[in-house]
Chain A
Amino acid sequence: MKTLLSIAGGIAGPPAGMIGGVYDRWCPRNVMIKSRPAAAPPAVETPLVYAHGLAALVTLLISVCFGFLAAMEMVAPDVAGGSPWLTWGRLRYDHTQGIMLGWLGNAFFAFLYHAVPVLSGRSVTSPKLGQWLFGLWNFAVVLPGWILVLAGHSQPLEWAEFPLVVDAFVVLCLVLAAVQFLPPFFSRGLEDLYVSSWYIIGGLVFTLLSYPMGNFVPELVPGARGAAFSGLWIHDAVGLFVTPLALAIIYFVIPAATRKPIYSHFLSMLGFWLLFFLYPLNGTHHYVFSVIPMIAQIGAITASTLLGVDVIIVVANLLLSLRGTGWFPGDPALRFVGTGTVFYLIVSIQGSVQAQMSVNQSVHFTDWVVGHSHMAMLGFASFAALGGIVHAWQRIPWARYHAGMINAGYWLLFAGLIMMVTDLTIAGLVESSAWKSAAPWIESVRAAKPYWAVRVLTFVPIGAGFLFVMTGLFVGEPGDGLKSIQRELGLEPVEAIAPRFAQEVG
C-alpha cells in the first residue's frame, strides 16, 4: 500500500507529466523537483487529502443549507418558528464562515496535501501534525464556531463572525498550516518555484498576518477607525486567503491536466506580484462615501481598478494555457478550474467597476453585491476548489470516482450560479432605484421579494450540484479516477510510469 501511495503521489500532477519533458520554456522540465532531487519520491498523504476532501464537502453541504435557510427566511420570515438557533442573523454568520473556513479551508488543505509534495519534491512536514491540523480545524474551529454562533456567541464583523475564542484556534491552525506546508518549499530552495508554490506561500503567510488584524483590531479600535481595519480584512479574506489558494489550484491543475506548460511563466509571476501588491490596498472600497478620509477611499478605488487590469493579465495567461481544450473540457477537474477562471475574470472586472464612485453609490448596500460575492466565492473559488479536489481524487488509486455524477453536478452548479447571480444583480438594481425614488423604504423590500423567491429556487440546482459532485467522489469503482484520466488524456497506465518515475527521481 505504501508504495502504491507514493506512486500515486509521484504521478499526481505536474511532475509525472513533466517527466516527459514538457513544462514551460521559462520554467524547464521537472520544475518541482529539479534542483535537489529528494532521495525518495515524496509521499502524498492521501489519507489527509481524502479526509480534508470529505470534510470540505460535508461542511460545504451544511454551509449551503445555512444559506438556503437564510434565503428562505427572507421570503417566509417566520418559517423557522421563532427559534433563536435558526434566526436569520445567526444562519447568515454560519453560512459565510462555513463557506470560508469549513468548505474552502478544508478544500485548500486537501489540495495542499496533494500539491505541496508534487511542487516541492518534498513531503509535508509531518502526517501526525496533519492529523492535529485536521482535528483542530474541524473540531476546534468549524464545528464549535457554528454551534457558538447559533447559541448566540459571535462577533458582528463581516468574514469574522466566529467568536474570539474560535479565532484563537484559527490563528493556531494557520501557524500549524504554515509549519506543515511551507518548509518543503524552503528546504529545496526558492529558485525556480512554480507560480502555484508562490501563491501557496503567499496565501498561507498573508492569511496568518491579516486574520488577527480583521478579527482582533476592531474589538480594540472603535467605530470609524476600527471600520478602516474591518474594510481591509473584508477584502483580505477574499484577496489573501481565498484568491491565492484558488489560483494556486488553477495554475496547478491546468498544466497537470492538459499536460502542456503554462503559457507564460513571466505573466504568471507578474500577475502574482501585482496581486499581492494590489489586493491589500483594496479594502477601503467597502466604505466609499464614509467618513474615512476621502484620499484613502480614492487610493483604494485606484487599487481596485488596477486589480482588474492585473486579473486580465492572470486570466489571459490561464486562458492561453487552456487553448485547445475547448470551453468545456472532458476532464471535470479541468472543466471546473477553466470555468472558475472565466468567473474570476468576470467577477474581478465587476469588482473594479463597482468600486468606482459613480457605480458604488448606486449598488452599494444592495443585493448586487450579494450576487457579486456569490460569483466570487461560488463561481470562482468553489469551482476552483472543486477542480482541485476532483483532480487530487483522480490520483488517489483507491478513491472511488464517478465521472457521470461529477459532470451532472458541474452543469447543475453552472446553471444555478448563473441563475442566482443574474437574479441578485437585477434585484440590486431594483432596490437601488427604489431607494433613489421618493417611495417609502418598504417599497424596496416589496420590490425585491420576487427576486428573493427566485434566489430560494436556485438552491435546487446549487444544492443538487454539490450533492452530485460529492456523490461522484464516493460512489463508482475505486481507481476509476485514475483510469478516467488515462482514458481522457491518453496518459500511460500507472504501472508504466512508476518504474520510470522512480528511476528519474532516484
Chain B
Amino acid sequence: MKRLLRMSYLVAGLAGVGFFAMSILLLGVWPGQALERQIEQTRPQHPPAPTVSEQRGRVIYGREGCAYCHTQQIRYLDNDVRRFGKATLAWETIFDYPQLWGTRRVGPDLSREAGVRSSDWQFTHLYGPRGVVADSVMPAFPWLFDGDPDRPNQEARDLVDYLETLGRNRALAGPEGEAHARESCNCSDDERRYAFGTGLLNASPAMARRTGDFPKLAAGDPARGREVYRQNCLSCHGPRGEGDGKGAAGLHPRPANLAEREYGADRLSFALWNGVTGTAMPAWRELPMADLAAVAEVVRGFHAKQPEPQIPQAVLELGARVYSDRCAQCHGTTGAGDGSAAAQFPIAPTNFRTQRPDIATSLRALREGIQGTPMAPWAGELSEAELSAVAYYVRTFFTGGAP
C-alpha cells in the first residue's frame, strides 16, 4: 500500500511537469509553428530590416516603458480596425526582439505610426507632450534633448527613427503585397476581413493629406469652439491664435499665426479636415463636425479685419511684374500655390486665393523667408519698393473660395 502511494505521487509529480510541458507545447510551440507557416505564406519578399539607428530607438522605446501605454497590436476587432487601421499580421512582427505588443492602452496604438506625424511634431511631443497635446498625460523626455525640442540628441533621433518604422513595412508591401497575403493566408473569413478588409491600412485620423475632399462647415457655436480650441489647438497656436503656444518653439515651420491672415471658409475646412502636409498640423477628422465648425468660427475671429487701403495702380503693376518673375514659379500665376515647382516641395506654397496675409505678415515673410519652408528671404534680391509692391499684389488674389 505504501509503495503504491509513493508510486502515485511519483506519477502525480510527473504529471505536474507534464502539464507544464503541455502548456508550452500547446500554447507556445504549436502556435509558434502555425504563425511561422502564416508568416511564410504572407510575408513580402524583402521587407527592410530595421537600421542600427532604428534598433537603438527600439531599445529606448522599451527602456522608457512606451509599450506599457501604447500597444503595438491592432486586434481583429471592428473598434481597433476602425481607429487604427488593418489588423496586425504576424509577418509585421518578424523583427521584434522582444515583442512590444503591450497589454494596456493609455495612449493610442502605434502599430501604424509611420508617416502620421512630422518629425518636428514628434520631437516637440517627446520633449514636452503637453506642448502639442494639451490634455496628454504622457511623460516628458527632456533627457533625450540638449535643452530644447530643436536640439534632439542621438537618442531622440533614434527613437523617432524607430517610430517611423511602425507599420512601414506593411505600407511598403503595397497593394501587390496585400493581395499576395490575402490570397495565400490560411486565415478564417473573419481574420481576412479584419486584416485585409476595405478599411484604410492606416486609419489614424491625424494623418495629413495633401489633397482630398473636405466638408463644408456650417456656422458653429463660439462657446463650444473656444473649448475645442483650448483642448486641441491652443498648445501650438497660442491663446490668441498668434502661433505662440507652448509647443510652437520646436515646430518648423512655426504654427500659423491665425491672427494675421484672413482665411476663406474652405481653406479652414480643408486644413482642419486634411491637416497641412509637411508641417506639424495634423488632420482633425476625428472631431465631430459641429466641433470643427465651431473651432473654425473661433479661428476666423482671431483676425481683425482692417480697412482695405487704396493701392495705386503703378504699385500693383510693379507687384505683378515681380510676382511673375520671382513668385509664380512656386505660388502659381493665379496665386493658387500651384506653380510648376510646387510639386517638388514637401510643403505646399501658400495659396493666396484662399488666405490673405496682412501686409506686415507678407513683408516679414518676404524679407526674412519662412523658416522650415522653401520660402526664401528676398531682402537682398528685391528693393523695398518691390517688396511692398508684391506684398500688396498678392492680396489681390484672394477670393475666399476653394483651395
**Residues of A participating in the B interface, judged by any CB pair closer than 8 Å:** 73-75, 77-78, 82-84, 87-90, 92-93, 152-158, 189-191, 193, 202, 205-206, 209-210, 213, 217-232, 234, 240, 273, 276-277, 280-281, 283-284, 286-294, 296, 299-300, 361, 364-366, 369-370, 435-436, 438-442, 445-446, 449, 452
Contacts and interface: CB of A to CB of B under 8 A. Distances in A.
A73 B95 contact: no
A289 B195 CA distance: 12
B99 A191 contact: no
A222 B100 CA distance: 10
Given A227-B101, A361-B77, A89 B68 contact: yes
A436 B80 CA distance: 9
A291 B191 CA distance: 8
A220 B97 CA distance: 7
Interface string B112-127: 0000000000000000
Contact of A213 (B24, B139, B140, B286): B24
B64 A291 contact: no
A290 B24 CA distance: 18
Contacts of B188: 294
Interface in B42-92: 61-69, 71, 73, 75-77, 79-80, 83, 87-90, 92
A438 B205 CA distance: 11
A205 B17 CA distance: 9
B104 A365 contact: yes
B240 to A, nearest CB: 23
Contacts of A361: 75, 77, 79
Contact of A191 (B9, B77, B88, B135): B9
A92 B137 CA distance: 15
Given A152-B63, A365-B71, A365-B103, A226 B26 contact: no
A273 B9 CA distance: 12
Nearest to A442: B135
Interface stretch (B28-36, B218-226, B311-319, B360-368): B28-36
A300 B27 contact: yes
A82 B93 contact: no
Contacts of B136: 77, 442, 445
Contact of A87 (B129, B139, B286): B139
B35 A291 contact: yes
Nearest to A76: B137
Contacts of B104: 365-366, 369-370
A206 B20 contact: yes
A226 B133 contact: no
Given A228-B35, A273-B16, 16 more contacts: A82-B140, A88-B69, A152-B63, A154-B63, A156-B67, A222-B93, A222-B95, A226-B96, A232-B23, A286-B103, A289-B76, A291-B38, A296-B30, A300-B27, A365-B102, A365-B103
B99 A441 contact: no
A266 to B, nearest CB: 14
B23 A90 contact: no
A189 B71 CA distance: 49
Contacts of B15: 273
B65 A156 contact: yes
Interface of B: 2, 5-6, 9-10, 12-13, 15-17, 19-20, 22-24, 26-28, 30-32, 34-36, 38, 61-69, 71, 73, 75-77, 79-80, 83, 87-90, 92-108, 129-130, 133, 135-143, 188, 191, 205, 231, 286-288
Contact of B106 (A75, A152, A234, A445): A445
B103 A223 contact: no
Contact of B99 (A84, A88, A230, A281): A230
21 contacts: A87-B64, A87-B139, A88-B69, A89-B68, A156-B62, A156-B98, A206-B16, A213-B24, A217-B28, A226-B96, A227-B101, A231-B27, A273-B15, A281-B23, A287-B101, A290-B73, A291-B89, A299-B26, A361-B77, A366-B105, A439-B286
Contacts of A155: 62, 98
A60 B332 CA distance: 68
Contacts of B139: 73, 77, 87-89
Nearest to A296: B31
Given A78-B140, A440-B287, A291 B98 contact: no
A364 B79 CA distance: 12
B287 A219 contact: no
A169 B231 CA distance: 48
Contacts of A449: 135, 137
A153 B63 contact: yes
Contact of A442 (B13, B90, B133): B133
A222 B138 contact: no
B90 to A, nearest CB: 4
B63 A223 contact: no
B90 A291 contact: yes
A75 B139 CA distance: 11
Given A77-B139, A82-B140, A296 B205 contact: no
A292 B97 CA distance: 17
B28 A156 contact: no
Contact of A230 (B35, B64, B98): B98
A449 B75 CA distance: 25
Residue from B63, B67, B231 having most chain A Cβ neighbours under 10 A: B63
A267 B24 CA distance: 27
Given A225-B36, A280-B20, A445-B137, A89 B65 contact: yes
A442 B34 CA distance: 37
A292 B93 contact: no
B96 A222 contact: yes
Given A222-B99, A290-B76, A276 B16 contact: yes
A291 B94 contact: no
A276 B19 contact: yes
Contacts of B24: 213, 229, 232, 280
B6 A218 contact: no
A92 B27 contact: no
Residue from B20, B96, B104, B136 having most chain A Cβ neighbours under 10 A: B20
Given A88-B65, A213-B24, A445-B135, A293 B34 contact: yes
Nearest to B1: A191
B27 A232 contact: yes
Nearest to B8: A191
Contacts of B94: 222-223
A21 B229 CA distance: 77
A224 B98 contact: no
Residue from B13, B73, B188 having most chain A Cβ neighbours under 10 A: B73
Given A191-B2, A222-B97, A440-B286, A228 B32 contact: yes
A361 B38 CA distance: 24
B164 to A, nearest CB: 18
